[in-house]
A and B are shown apart, each in its own frame.
Chain A
Amino acid sequence: MIKKGCALLLLFALVAFSFNPAASAEKTLTLGVYQEPENLNTYIGVQTVITYVHKPFAEYLIDVNEKGEYFPVLAAEVPSVENGGVSKDGLTITYKLRKGVKWSDGAPFTSADVKFTWEAIVNPKNLVKSKSGYDLIQAVETPDEHTAVVKYKEFYAPFLTRFAPVLPQHILGKLDNMNDAPYNRMPVGTGPFMVSEWASGNYIAMVKNPHYRDASKVKIDKLFFKFIPSREVGIAQLQAGDIDGVWDLIEAQIPMMENNPALALDLSTSLTSERLILNHSIPTPPNNGNPDFPHPILGDLKVRQALDCAIDRKAIVDKLLFGKAQAGASEIAHGWAANRDLKPVAYDPEKAKKLLDDAGWKPGADGIRQKDGKRLRLKITTTTGNKLREMVQQVLVDQMKKVGVEFYIENVPSSVLFGSWANDADRKKGRYDIMMYTTGPGIDPHQQFEGYFHSKNIPTEANGGSGYNYTRHRDAELDKWIDAGGKSISMADRANAYRMAQKRIYEIVPHIYLYQRLTVHGFRSHVKGYISNGNGIIDAVETWNIADWDIQK
């Protein structure tokens, strides 16, 4: 019995350790993702990973390239006032569609698909996550197969970002609703690849789309999105050569990959920035979150400015982000609406001390400042389980101590931090001092500015807790520039309005920008052709130009 057991074990070991089967001639690319997508329908699913996985098959009317410029995909050109695509009042948008495009099942792509996309989104039976923009559309007219005319009831500034992606009418149009449609797991698209298999908990497989307009150009034969439990495991598998690329690493993982010649790193500066969000209203009940009752410490602009210049951003970027990130200065880091005159606030502990002195906070016996017997003690909260944020927090605690401010850390799971008004979340109800997390504008910044910075978007009982103005600041000048940005049809006027809004934010310090987030992707060196893109219509994802990727061993 014992011998038999040993023999079996030995056999098992022998077989297990024997060599890899020879590689096949097909070009197979395996990308690791640490989340399994809920589905592949971005109108229903909320995760960024969906965007990453859907890019190979789903296409938009208009997309955005690595320079932050719009370019036509399923549309033949980007509509503008100049080329007649946008009417003078901005309410009618005419899309000329690309000709000869086919869905991966061979059916032709037409203007009916564009019209259907709008209908599907506003269909009350569909559990669509957001209808914004689409609910302002009055009608989509289809004068011919290659023209779609979208008529808005009122001007919608980010109109170029709609219809991303276009849904296949011939597949989904027959259904009562698309909530459980087979399309959500086995979609039909117009992109270079098509989904061939989804093995739950394991991988999504794609093959070349034979009906793609440039099918001969596509070099990869098979594409796998493999689900891995975490980024750490992803790096382990990448180093072991089990996968060819990992999606969405974090900045702290850069150095361990940099030293390995078999790996290549792909870094790009995203539009999102890590920031501190400072509560202007009193955090304690019963008036928590009411902007009429200012925060006993942070309600004072001088204190907010002092915190801003007590932060050594360079040390954080150099040491914790290996010098790869950009220190944060304003809401929009790059692109057409960025305000390049604004520079990151300089590290100046002496100035911070003076500002605090002026504000009446004097050093106490233990070095922490006091005013009227109250300590300058602030809670800093972020999401649990994010190591880089935890590291930055601990460095901030140390930097604040040097100017006599006491930060203490209390972190909560992201679902608690980002909970709803109904769930009594601290963020929505204003029961916090300082929050640290990442957010940022999309390629069109309007929703971000209006949501986070307009005084009408302070969450209250009256508005059901909607809105993202968590700092609860009210500033008439800022409101004015945000409104201007949403109303003008001229892109130049809009850009100016957002620049002024950024300047105003810089002055009143509701948010303290720490650094621009990097998107970090790791590849095995034989993967070629990817181009970093920090911009995206839905999310900035690496797979935006996957048709051009190749494997060269």
Chain B
Amino acid sequence: MGRRPSAHGLRMKYTFILRRLLSVVPVLLIITFATFALMQLLPGGPLAAYENNPEISQKDIERLRHEMGLDQPIHMQYWAWLKNFAQGDWGYSFTTKRPVLVEIWDRLPNTLYLTGISLIVALIIAIPAGILSATRQYSLFDHITTTLAYVGRSMPVFYSGLLLIIIFSIWLRWLPSGGMHTLGKEFSLIDSLRHLFLPVLSLSTLIAAKYVRFLRTSMLEVIHLDYIRTAAAKGLSERVIIYKHAFRNAAIPLVTVVAIDLPVLFAGALFTETIYSWPGMGRLFVDAATRFDYSVVMGIVAAIAFLVVVSNLLADIVYAILDPRITYS
């Protein structure tokens, strides 16, 4: 740290950021097409729900197929979809008949709220635990932390979520077992936090376990580096060494790890939302997939791809700004 990049280095940096930005476009195109092609292979199709109903004749089904444009060639369906997509028209859900963007927009904030708070809580747990664990390597605290991190890593989130519901909602009756707030009551912060507690607990322990492990390892590496030892030899206090030098250096790669582990967070959210009936995007995806609601599934995949690409991009840029050692090839 500390060495200022040269003007040439700065230019390289901007070119790097610009190139990363541009690389997003083909990636998104490929994803949308791949998803669309895959969705065509799905069984049943959007009219499957009508097939078992003696009230509905085959003629009705053919009529609906035509009216919904499902009898057009696949590439035409994709092209139509893509053109509209670029204009912000993400199509209509086959089942709810509402615009896909509206469906997602209804749910996305809830997922971001849940994952965002879980991420913050995970960091609040993981950072001190990781630092303490590394600085007091082989202490009782270190052993407990590492063991818990292993347990957190090895426990499927749907199992831990289930156990938490049994313990806190059924046996102890302390916390609600699902939803975002109590229905029919005025909004209150306390009520909202009570509903948040278990989902956040499940989700944050899942990722905190990963962060603790990572932070501990990278702290240990940094602590053994020469300049830390030098700093120690110069007589700086342990606190200063740990927070000013060791942690700051270990925290930079943590940015990348948080970005890389975003998929874990989203996957965890899918199960957490399912277990705690949290009205987020993960549940919408499971519902839409089982109903073969093509346009909603497409929209969610595109939205998540977008989120992932952007967050990786941001992580890269933040990393590039923070760390002078990176090369831009």
Residues of A participating in the B interface, judged by any CB pair closer than 8 Å = 1-2, 5-6, 8-9, 12-13, 15-18, 20-21, 24, 26, 28, 30, 35-36, 38-39, 44-47, 127, 129-132, 179-180, 184-185, 199-203, 205, 222, 224, 226-230, 233, 236-237, 239-242, 413-416, 418-423, 425, 439, 447-448, 451-452, 463-468
- Residue contact A203 to B183, C-beta cutoff 8 Å: yes
Q: Mark B61-80, 1 if CB is under 8 A from A, else 0.
A: 11011011000000000000
Q: Are B185 and A24 in contact (CB under 8 A)?
A: yes
Tell me if B57 is interfacial: C-beta within 8 Å of chain A: yes
Q: Are B49 and A46 in contact (CB under 8 A)?
A: yes
A47-B92 in contact (CB<8A): no
User: Are B127 and A5 neighbours in the complex by a CB distance under 8 Å?
Assistant: yes
Asked if residues B127 and A1 are in contact (CB atoms below 8 Å), the reply is: yes
Task: Report the tally of A-B residue pairs with Cβ distances under 8 A.
Answer: 201
Known: A1-B127, A21-B190. A47 touches B43 (CB 8 A): no
Given A199-B106, A419-B48, 12 more A-B residue pairs with CB atoms under 8 Å apart are: A8-B124, A13-B197, A129-B50, A130-B56, A201-B283, A233-B275, A237-B176, A242-B182, A415-B48, A419-B44, A464-B59, A466-B57
CB-CB contacts below 8 Å: B154-213 with A: 165, 169-170, 173-180, 182-186, 188-191, 193-194, 196-197
Contact among A2, A228, A423, A439 for B128, CB-based, below 8 A: A2
Pair B277/A420 contact, Cβ less than 8 Å? no
Minimum CB–CB distance from A206 to chain B (whole Å) comes to 11
Total chain B interface residues with beta-carbon distance under 8 A:
76
Nearest B residue to A450, CB-CB: B54
Report whether B52 and A439 are in contact in the complex, using a CB–CB cutoff of 8 Å: yes
Once A21-B191, A47-B49, A201-B106 are accepted as A-B contacts, the answer to whether A228 and B178 lie under 8 Å apart by CB is: yes
Q: How far is the CB of B281 from chain A (nearest CB, A)?
A: 9
Residues of B within 8 A of A200 (CB): 103, 106-107, 279
**Interface residues of A, dominant DSSP:** loop
7 A-B residue pairs with Cβ-Cβ distance under 8 Å, sorted by A, are A16-B175, A16-B193, A17-B194, A130-B53, A132-B55, A226-B183, A420-B61
B residues near A224, Cβ cutoff 8 Å = 183-184
The chain B residue sitting closest to A451, CB to CB, is B54
The answer on a CB contact under 8 Å between B287 and A36 is yes
- A202, B292: Cβ atoms under 8 Å? no
Type the 1/0 row for B131-171, where 1 means its CB is closer than 8 Å to any CB of A. 11000000000000000000000000000000001000110
Q: Choose from A20, A38, A242, A420 the contact partner of B95 (Cβ within 8 Å).
A: A38
Closest 7 CB pairs of A and B: A415-B44, A201-B279, A466-B58, A28-B184, A2-B128, A200-B106, A16-B197
The reply to whether A419 and B51 form a contact with Cβ atoms under 8 Å apart is: yes
Residue contact B190 to A447, C-beta cutoff 8 Å: no
A237–B198 Cα gap in the complex (Å)?
A: 14
Task: For A24, list chain B residues within 8 Å (CB).
Answer: 184-185
In the complex, A230→B158 CA distance in Å? 14
Q: In the assembly, what is the distance between CA of A475 and CA of B101, in Å? A: 53
Roughly how many angstroms separate A420 CA and B184 CA in the complex, as a whole number? Answer: 42
**Looking at the complex, which one of A2, A425, A467 makes contact with B132 (CB distance below 8 Å)?**
A2
Give A147 Cβ to nearest chain B Cβ, in Å: 28
For residue A179, which residues in chain B have a CB less than 8 angstroms away from its CB? 97
Closest to B111 in A: A201
Instruction: Map CB proximity to A onto B251-282 as digits: 1 under 8 Å, 0 otherwise.
Output: 00000000000000000000001110101100
Which of B43, B55, B110, B277 touches A228 (beta carbons < 8 Å)?
Answer: B277
Q: Does B47 sit at the interface, judged by CB under 8 A?
A: yes
Whether the Cβ atoms of A229 and B274 lie closer than 8 Å is yes
Question: Considering residues A2, A8, A16, A230, which has the most beta carbons from chain B within 10 angstroms of its beta carbon?
Answer: A16
